[in-house]
Structures are given as C-alpha cells and as structure tokens.
Chain A
C-alpha cells in the first residue's frame, strides 16, 4: 500500500514538481524498489530533456506558403465555377420564364413570327457570305487560336501567382 503511494509520486518528484517529505521521503530511503523507480524516473526525465529536437527542412516555409496558395487558388476556382453555374441557371430560368410568359399571354405566335423573320434574315446573310466562306473560316480559326493561347497564358500566370 505504501509502495503504491510512493510510486504514484515518483514521476512528479523526478520532474522536480514535488519534494518528497515525511513518510514518502522516509519510504524512498528505505525501500529499494521505490528508490530504484525514482532513479529510473529521473534517468528517463533526463533522457527526455536531451531528446533531439527535430528541425524542419530548410525550405519548409516556402513549401508551406506554396501549398497555402495552391489550396486558395483551387478554392477560388471552385467559387468561380459555382458562380458560373449559378449564372447559367439564372439565364436558363429567365429564358424559360419569358417563354412561359409569352405562351400564357398568347404572344407565342408573334414570337414565332419574329423567330422566323430572324431565321430568314440569317439564312439570306449566310447565302450572301457563302462565297467568302473559306476566308471567314480561316479568320475564325486564327481568332480561336489566339484566344486559346491567351487563355493558357492567363491560366499559367494565375497558377504561378497562386
């Protein structure tokens, strides 16, 4: 029973947080097992104090900041995507609402006439331009390529800046 009490205090005594007094001090002087436990606890305390402190790699700060930027960039991309999806949904909903309104108000016929007028105009314009189709196709391809290169450059620059 007394050994149990002394052994419970051994760690605190070894760490210097408790000074053995009275019967515990007397017991530690006479009981070889408890005295041995105190010696072992003191040795362990010293070993733990002398344990090597692991140092981070030299580029730890740079790597951490790069990771923070990467994660933030990804999170901003997700926000952008969510915003674009939301805007797309709003546009589709507005278009659907407008069509529904036209149908309810009996204006669908007028809208149909307007649509056929616009389509006829587009077809006529297409016929007139068909002679120079190859020129327009080439110009469109050049413009598309330029836009693609610009998009890639912007994307790389965004990633580099985090």
Chain B
C-alpha cells in the first residue's frame, strides 16, 4: 500500500469509518496472520493473536502519529504480541494436525525438490526450538512484502543488527538440523 493511501486509510479509520477499518484488516490480515502463524506454529493460537494485533491497532490508531509507515507500525505490534507470547512454550507439532498436513500439501505442489514431508517436518520442528525472536526474524524475512528496513524499524534495531541476528538464527537452525534433528 502506498504512503498516501495509508494516510487516507488511517484518517478514515480515525473518523470512525468502520468500512475503512475493514479495509485495513483486509489489507494486512494475510501478512499479519502468516507472520504470527510461522512464529507460533499453531493455527488457532495464531488466529487469536492476529485478532489481538488488530484489536491493538484499533485501540491505538487515534494515537498513531504517522512518523513511521502504517505497515511498520503494525509489524511492531506483531513483534510485541509474538514476543509476549514467548513466555508460553511453543506447542509441539503433531503429525495428525490437519493444518500441518494442509500446509505440507500446498508446499508439495509448489516444489517437488523439497517436497519431502519428513524434511519439512524436521525444519518446522527445528524452527519451533529456536528462541522466539529468532523465529520471528526468520518468519518475517522469508515472507514477501516485509522489507529489511521495515523489519529493522519495527524491531527498533539497526539494519546491521537485524542481519546479524538473522544469520545467527539460521546458523542455529542449520546446526539443529545437522545434529539433534538429523
């Protein structure tokens, strides 16, 4: 969404236009949900947390000063919600989980080379064992639509720190896959 459109949307939301808020949820819903679902790895919890993000957005919109882009501000709220969730242990992945099967089937049609369910299952299990901030970074970095700069601003970190932490996260993930989850 372009900056001008974002400003208009925020103004309409502030003036109490319910349809504008619906547009906002429709514009960012997919990305917010995907980011959270990849971080918490539990669909029903992800849905609840994604709704919580929009509740906070709705509550805080009157105080949004427009210094950052709306998308960056929303990612910051997502990061806060995900990291607050960190206190709770990540749910173990179940092979019987319909959502896991659904995601696996979709991915299999996209890429046959990595279509091996077991490999992806190992990857998801390894990601689940990463610290929450690393999970969030990996989830955000590999989702289309989130720029590195937005991520750095949302997490209030220098760009270099974001990249370093992301490399450390992947290094830890690679080690987990090569050793404990081999």
Contact = CB atoms under 8 A, between A and B. Distances in A.
Interface stretch (A55-63, A84-92, A100-108, A117-125): A55-63
Contact of A54 (B37, B163, B168, B177): B37
Interface in A45-71: 45-57, 60-61, 63-65, 67-68, 71
B86 interface: no
B129 interface: no
Interface string B44-62: 0011001100110010000
A21 interface: no
- Tell me what chain B mostly uses at the interface: helix, strand, loop, or mixed: helix
Interface stretch (A23-31, A36-44, A132-140, A143-151): A36-44
What is the size category of the interface that chain A forms with chain B? Answer: 20 to 34
Nearest to A72: B58
B137 to A, nearest CB: 11
A12 B166 CA distance: 9
A155 to B, nearest CB: 21
B33 A56 contact: yes
Contacts of B54: 64, 68
Nearest to B144: A53
B22 interface: yes
B104 interface: yes
Interface in B12-60: 18, 21-22, 25-26, 29-30, 33-34, 37-38, 43, 46-47, 50-51, 54-55, 58
A33 B63 CA distance: 53
Interface string A11-28: 110110100000000000
A12 B33 CA distance: 28
B106 interface: yes
B106 A52 contact: yes
B174 interface: yes
Contacts of B120: 47, 51
Interface of B: 18, 21-22, 25-26, 29-30, 33-34, 37-38, 43, 46-47, 50-51, 54-55, 58, 99, 103-104, 106-107, 110-111, 114, 119-120, 123, 138, 142-144, 163, 166-168, 170-171, 173-174, 177-178
Shortest 5 CB-CB contacts between residues of A and residues of B: A54-B37, A56-B33, A11-B167, A52-B107, A52-B103
12 contacts: A11-B166, A12-B167, A37-B174, A44-B173, A49-B142, A52-B107, A53-B143, A54-B103, A55-B34, A56-B33, A63-B51, A68-B21
